[in-house]
Amino acid sequence: MTDALSIARDLLRCPSVTPADAGALAVLENLLGGAGFEVHRVTFSEPGTADIDNLYARIGTSAPHISFAGHTDVVPAGDEAAWSHGAFSGDVKDGFLYGRGAVDMKGGIACGVAAVLEYLADHGGTPKGSISFLITGDEEDIAVNGTIKLLRWVAARGEKFDHCVLGEPSNVEQLGDCIKVGRRGSLSGTLYVDGIQGHVAYPHRAANPVPDIASLIVALSNEPLDRGSAQFQASNLEFTSVDVGNKAGNVIPGQARAKFNIRFNDHHSQETLRALVEQRMTKAAGNRIRARIAWEPSNANVFVTKPGAFTDLAVAAIEQVTGRQPELSTGGGTSDARFIASYCPVIEFGLVGQTMHAIDERAPVSDLEKLTKIYRGVLDRYFD
């Protein structure tokens, strides 16, 4: 059975809670291998983390090459007794498919596979260019042995991606309301202000870092980083904690620190942003305040797929099936698209995200059928 519902049920019945695979990738390996794909199972390791299974399958050798990306791992079921249907049952009731991963994102993968198999069957078994699946078992947790390494592994084979569709649940309320075309970057740091510890009764012998860090926090919070860009809201610097670790009421502390996070748009890179914030800090500190920032490493760079032929064909396929004109959004949290964006333009379009990670995660069967038609529409237009 190669319809989206059957494939989704086979996937849902594998309890592939990160880092377990539980047979999920074998379901895809059998289907894709049977359809003529060259299938690779690749295991990645990292000291201190679990080994993770990944799958890369490709059919065709020529360009253009479109890849469907996704993850078969899921978050834990939570209280399984609270589910109306078993979290790994794949039960269908009243038009809904129940199970952990139904929308995030085994359902999306099933629709991609069903659409591709249907497309191949209608075209003598081979695409005009190449189609691949880039599937990881390491997205929901720390994501170090997954997409980031699989992309590198494929690139090392000399293969190139032209475009990618990541089947994460991008829609907010209804199928067709949203394509994710980018995400803001994320950068965190700690601001330190050094003073001189002393007795509160003798402040002239001490230097209190508390009012000084307060003035720096105000200065850095008040000045906007930008006013937004064509596809993004304004960047934002947000302080999340202030600490002196001082238990004594009669001691002026020697140091104060404050943590902050910045969500930044395509006006900045991590490097330019670090320079900008440090420059503002130095200016606000003047000659008197001794301040510095320790930056945390970040692999969450800003990325965006600009509107063009690829987004246009996705929008057309979505409109034809749903009658909706999707918003091209850059909102929300992070996903593996941040890694894929370094290799080719990527869009995220999948099911509706409302029940993801929740008890009774479920997808309307009619949405699975429609999403399969949308992916098929993307393929028809892509290879037209």
**Catalytic residue, candidates 10, 53, 73, 168:** 73
For the bound state, the minimum distance from the C-beta of residue 150 to Zn ion, rounded and expressed in Å, comes to 15
Task: For strands 65-71 and 163-166, give the pairing.
Answer: parallel
Closest CB 168 distance from Zn ion, rounded Å: 5
Provide the mask over 48-87, with x wherever binding to Zn ion is found by CB under 5 A and - wherever it is not. ----------------------------------------
Closest separation in Å from C-beta 174 to Zn ion = 19
In the bound state with Zn ion, the residue whose beta carbon lies nearer, of 106 and 263, is 106
Torsion of CA 136, 322, 179, 39, to 10 degrees: 20
Residue with structure tokens 């003047």? 286
Q: Are 183 and 332 in contact (CB under 8 A)?
A: yes
Q: Is residue 376 classed exposed, middle or buried when 0-12, 13-18 and 19+ CB atoms within 10 A define those classes?
A: buried
Closest distance between Zn ion and the C-beta of residue 33, in Å? 25
Nearest to 296 by CA among 153, 186, 219: 186
Length of the chain counted residue by residue: 384
Which residue in 105, 111, 181, 368 binds Zn ion (CB under 5 A)?
A: 105
Backbone angles phi, psi at 48, to 5 degrees: 85, 0
* 118 in active site: no
Q: Of the two residues 57 and 105, which places its CB atom closer to Zn ion in the complex?
A: 105
Under the phi-then-psi rule, with left for phi > 0, alpha for psi from -120 to 50, and beta for the rest, what region is 343?
A: alpha
Q: What is the CA radius of gyration of the chain?
A: 25
| Residue 225: strand pairing partners | none
Helix-, strand-, coil-residue percentages of the chain, each rounded to 5: 30, 25, 45
Q: Where are the alpha helices (DSSP H) in 57-127?
A: 106-122
Cβ–Cβ contacts within 10 Å for residue 205, how many? Answer: 11
**Considering only residues 104, 212, 266, 336, which one is a binding residue for Zn ion as defined by CB under 5 A?**
104
Residues 168-197 close enough to bind Zn ion by CB under 5 A? 168
Q: Which of 139, 266, 348, 361 is catalytic?
A: 139
Q: Does the annotation count 319 as an active-site position?
A: no
Chain center to CA of 316: 24
Determine the interface stretch with Zn ion among 60-68, 129-137, 162-170, 292-300 (rule: CB under 5 A): 162-170
- Please identify, among the stretches 78-86, 161-169, 360-368, 370-378, the one whose residues bind Zn ion according to the rule CB under 5 A: 161-169
Size of the site for Zn ion (CB under 5 A): 3
Please report the sign of the dihedral spanned by the C-alpha atoms of residue 95, residue 99, residue 104, residue 109.
Answer: negative
7 vs 105, which CB is nearer to Zn ion?
105
Interface segment toward Zn ion; rule CB under 5 A; list 98-106, 151-159, 270-278, 360-368: 98-106
- Is there binding between residue 336 and Zn ion (CB under 5 A)? no
Q: How far is the CB of 349 from Zn ion (least distance, A)?
A: 13
Nearer CB in complex with Zn ion: 167/253: 167
Residue nearest to Zn ion (CB): 104
What is the binding site for Zn ion (CB under 5 A)? 104-105, 168
Annotated active-site positions, please? Answer: 73, 139
